[in-house]
Structure 1
């Protein structure tokens, strides 16, 4: 709850669940690299929860797992990271299990959607009293 007690963050429990599943997948894979299936299950569940509740994952979260095989991308363990600069400087992250490649540009002008002003909305839930007042009108 906020300072004055009348505002809350929407979907807080869902974001907490997504965060927990991502941390669990990272921890399981770092503790024992043979636990690939459990890691895949956690990431697949995380994606299902986010999709079901229609929440947008932060780009850093999206970049941390493979979209094809649902595994956490750990450099040297499950992913190979290379820096290329043929036409445009970029980083290439390759999944060692399925071979899927991700390319991330280094342009200074490039802006992620989360950094744009249009991406942020003010989510507020009104307290019960103001809701009742609106219903009476």
Structure 2
């Protein structure tokens, strides 16, 4: 995905706001309001322009008060588990006490990091370039002789 990005300038602006929020908190940990303003502005811009943010960025911003979640500074992080089930990371915002639960699964891979997603992205880029190919007729019933191991999701 490092190739040709459609709205590169907009993503650079979002990245700048996210880095500015981090810099504000690293220089003065008491200046949470300015970092919150930067995160709020970043989220509003992404929402207005219908841009998808990376999940690693979305996980570090509180959904309720838009403050930057830094463990030990603006958030507490706890490891929890249920009997016979998966382990979880619970992040609690210190400003609004809103908690966010994240699954700890070392085998889990985000869809955008899977090879199938990269192939779909490349095919979509090739189709948008203008290569007009006739659509192939799909049968009404899928062929069950081949094992389908790829799962497609939309986010």
Q: Which residue is equivalent to 2:39?
A: 43
Of 87, 90, 98, which aligns to 1:92?
90
CA distance in 2, matches of 1:9, 1:103: 31
Q: Which residue is equivalent to 1:72?
A: 68
Q: TM-score, normalised by structure 2?
A: 0.69
CA distance in 2, matches of 1:41, 1:114: 29
Secondary structure of the residue aligned to 1:121 is helix
Contact 1:93–1:103 under 8 Å retained in 2: yes
Instruction: Name structure 1 gaps, 5 residues minimum.
Output: 1-6, 131-137
Report the Cα offset of residue 109 of structure 1.
Answer: 4.8
Structure with more contact order per residue of length (Cα contacts < 8 Å, sep ≥ 6): 1
Contact 1:58–1:114 under 8 Å retained in 2: no
Contact 1:65–1:73 under 8 Å retained in 2: yes
Q: Which residue is equivalent to 1:29?
A: 25
Instruction: Name structure 2 gaps, 5 residues minimum.
Output: 131-155
CA distance in 1, matches of 2:5, 2:29: 36
Secondary structure of the residue aligned to 2:79 is strand
Aligned residues: 122
Q: Which residue is equivalent to 1:4?
A: none
CA RMSD of aligned residues (A): 2.5
Report the Cα offset of residue 53 of structure 1.
Answer: 1.6
Q: TM-score, normalised by structure 1?
A: 0.77
Q: Which residue is equivalent to 1:82?
A: 78
Secondary structure of the residue aligned to 2:72 is coil
CA distance in 1, matches of 2:25, 2:5: 31
